[in-house]
Amino acid sequence: MTLIELAAEQKSAEVTDWAARLGWVAGLLLFVALVYWLMRQGWKWRGSLQSGLPDLPTAPGAPGAPRLTMSGRYHGSTTAGQWLDRIVAHGLGTRSRAELTLTDAGLDVVRPGARDFFVPAGQLRGARLDKGIAGKVLAEGGLLVVTWEHGGTLIDSGFRSDTAADHTAWVEALTSMNHTSTTEGTAR
């Protein structure tokens, strides 16, 4: 047998079984779609569980002169004291850019691409620096957490300024504002 005859007899092994490969790819895509759908259903379920939360207030027409302003990110809201119990009702679970304005009337949170909300001064309960809120963990003191009351529920909302040095001034202003409203409430 000559070399040419041997070469003609040999047949290349089949490299790819396309039917099996396409089956695996289709199965993987279906699995990813199922996981995504389950996550979305969980988000909707959480929102329906929190449906008792009333609509968020909007800013008054003339809120007054700004005491402080901040540009940064809104990282979400949780039940106060439970940093992993995310609140998703009324768009509070949607992360976004945020512009905060603190006036004597309260805290105005403007979120491009998400629902804005306003926290009246009488509902502000305090502020602190923390390291995390549901879905976001930063260095110690890297997150401004504002505690407020809405519909009988205490809520923690997490913000991060573009300039982290701003956080301390916000904590001081919100704490003094809460102290003033609490003192005025007991004096009546």
Q: Residue 175 and residue 54: Cα distance in Å, rounded?
A: 25
Q: Where are the domains of the chain?
A: 17-49, 68-187
pLDDT at 11 over 70: no
pLDDT in tens, 112-121: 988 899 999 8
pTM above 0.75, yes or no: no
Please check whether residue 102 is in contact with residue 122, taking contact to mean a CB–CB distance below 8 angstroms. no
68-187, what's its fold? PH-domain like (2.30.29)
| Beta-strand relationship, 68-79 and 153-161 | antiparallel
| Beta-strand relationship, 106-110 and 124-130 | unpaired
The mean per-residue pLDDT over the stretch 66-79 comes to 91
Q: Residue 118 and residue 63: Cα distance in Å, rounded?
A: 10
Q: Residue 19 and residue 24: Cα distance in Å, rounded?
A: 9
